[in-house]
Structure 1
Amino acid sequence: MIQMAPTGLLTDFSLEMTGKDVPKLEEAAHAIPQGARVNVTFLGNEDLTMRVDAARVVKRLGFVPVPHISARRLKSQAELEEFLEALQQVDASEHVFVVGGDPATPEGPYTDSLAVIRTGILKDFGVHEVGIAGYPEGHPDIRTETLWEHLTAKSTLLAEQGLEQVVLSQFAFDADKVSSWIRAVRDRGIDSTIRIGTPGPAGIKRLLGYAKRFGVGTSAGIVKKYGFSLTNLIGTAGPDRFVTDLEQKVSAADEAAAKIHFYTFGGLLATAEWVQQYSAGK
């Protein structure tokens, strides 16, 4: 198959990996456009060395590393500074994504991502651009009003600090909700790039499991949007229908600043190949 350059929302798509996915990234490197952003997660079962090594490999392979900083997993400002310094040493600190993180109780001084940004130290370690989280379909544990208040506060603070920003959304399944959410982001004066979190091709059981974990949609709703049957959970579901619907609903004005970010579930090669197949089909 002749490889087609991604277009529309898939132009400059980004991918997500864990620290353990380095071999999978190396396997998929030939199918991922050079210069693509690759986010590196900040999980509880990984350590600083694993996260930094993954970011270093992303850079070595010709991609742009976007390490995550999980606020509630940080035990101290010293740990935050150690991580940022290590990233800077491997030339991987320019882009970061700051998120609250999973722990219900903070392990250190940072209750949320806003608290990390408020330290004002990111720029000291070569950070140029900060990703902040958005929730098109809401959050199971946080009021919608609070989500908007924090998004606006983080955007304002980053601008005051002279840092570029990207809004990266939790993964979504409902193109109508996503397009409405994009308009709401713009209505609040946030004109940065928006990366729409989208599940890459994944086993159907795994896809539904992640959706349940993050409180995104319902099984019935996901089935309707993705077009598979709950009576047959064997197989893989891809985001073809969601991406097609979203491209039809996002206005031309927003499309230039809206991109797709793939949560790959470890399937980096499968996701990169899906992009090529989808683009060729268009």
Structure 2
Amino acid sequence: MDAEGLGVLLSGVRYEVLPAKATVDQVLAHVPRDVVVTVTASPVKGLEPTLGLVGRLAAHGYRVVPHVPARLLRDDTHLKDVVDRLRETGVDDVFVPAGDADPPAGAFDGALPVLRRLSELGGPFARVGITGYPESHPLIHDDLTIQAMWDKRAHATYIVSNLCFDPRVLGDWVGRIRRRGVVLPVHVGVAGPVQRAKLLAMAAKIGVGESTRFLTRHASWFLRFATPGGYAPDRLLARGAKALTAPSAEVAGLHVFTFNQIAETERWRRALLARSGD
């Protein structure tokens, strides 16, 4: 990958973190204020840990993006309460996936009804993100996921792609959504430099094992992390750089799944920036 291409992908980097006791301290110790931090939400623990962590990080001067899964919202009153709390902390960017809660906590079973309701509330957030699926969704046909992005486009401002380990598939997917007329900028989801032993130790501390649960739903992904030489974010970016940095791709940057290996992720990013000359 050339230095210019690498710089483009790293210029809009976002770090996804999980709500845990040590997350604030880890972010403060290792993440510069110009890096956007996104905070996941657990179908087990609900939205409260997410909202609490968002407030604490925002108070320290970070630009924070909460995940607000539709299936964790109980009703319209709950949605309005979440909106008010986030606005009070200065949040102007939210990510709205459908979420994994089964059954849903209330009437919202997908992201689109929540996105429509936010629009009806006057668009309280300047930026609203939705999910993209470069690799097949386990329950939804590929064409339907792209159609869903088309349906959501009037209510969203960007797309975050789910994890993908195949640069060819990732590049093809970006091309497909552009040909279908979806023009929202994409933040490409990539896993950071995940170490299996630290991942499992972190999952045990969290209690419900959010990262382990996430990976066990995608066994092939876990094998990539666990196998020596099986995954390196550098290789993925190098092989996919041409497709991802093409002007027609409209890729805004990287969305890095840290799995709370925050120090390791930031060291990796700085090493890449040093190599690119930025």
1:7 aligns with 2:7: yes
8 Å Cα contact 2:186/2:250 also seen in 1: no
- Any idea what SS the aligned residue of 2:238 has? helix
**Distance (Å, rounded) in 1 between the aligned partners of 2:174 and 2:140:** 19
**Distance (Å, rounded) in 2 between the aligned partners of 1:16 and 1:264:** 6
Q: Which amino acid aligns with 1:200?
A: G
Listed as ranges, the gaps of 5+ residues in structure 2 are 1-5, 201-210
1:271 aligns with 2:265: yes
CA-to-partner distance for each residue in 1:23-56, whole Å, 9 max, x for gaps? 3343343543423221111213435443222112
Residue of structure 1 in register with 2:172 after alignment: 180
1:32 aligns with 2:31: yes
**CA apart distance, 1:86:** 0.9
- Any idea what SS the aligned residue of 1:19 has? coil
Residue of structure 2 in register with 1:44 after alignment: 43
Residue of structure 2 in register with 1:240 after alignment: 234
**CA apart distance, 1:216:** 6.3
Q: Which amino acid aligns with 2:129?
A: G
CA-to-partner distance for each residue in 1:201-227, whole Å, 9 max, x for gaps? 2124759964451476684xx48xx98
8 Å Cα contact 1:17/1:266 also seen in 2: yes
Residue of structure 2 in register with 1:116 after alignment: 114
**Distance (Å, rounded) in 2 between the aligned partners of 1:264 and 1:9:** 16
**Distance (Å, rounded) in 2 between the aligned partners of 1:268 and 1:218:** 19
8 Å Cα contact 1:72/1:112 also seen in 2: yes
* Same amino acid, percent of matched pairs: 24
- Change in Cα spacing, 1:104 to 1:141, as seen in structure 2 (3 Å) is farther
**CA apart distance, 1:13:** 0.4
Q: TM-score if structure 1 supplies the norm length?
A: 0.81
Q: Which amino acid aligns with 1:37?
A: V
Residue of structure 2 in register with 1:193 after alignment: 185
CA-to-partner distance for each residue in 1:223-262, whole Å, 9 max, x for gaps? 8xx98357xxxxxx54111111121332431466331101
Q: TM-score if structure 2 supplies the norm length?
A: 0.82
CA-to-partner distance for each residue in 1:119-168, whole Å, 9 max, x for gaps? 2457547211110000001111111121111111001x31xxxxx51100
RMSD over equivalenced CA pairs, Å = 2.8
8 Å Cα contact 1:17/1:39 also seen in 2: yes
- Change in Cα spacing, 1:31 to 1:12, as seen in structure 2 (3 Å) is farther
8 Å Cα contact 2:43/2:101 also seen in 1: no
Q: Which amino acid aligns with 2:40?
A: T
Q: How many residues align?
A: 259
Listed as ranges, the gaps of 5+ residues in structure 1 are 1-5, 159-163, 231-236
- Any idea what SS the aligned residue of 1:105 has? coil
Residue of structure 2 in register with 1:100 after alignment: 98
- Change in Cα spacing, 1:118 to 1:255, as seen in structure 2 (3 Å) is closer
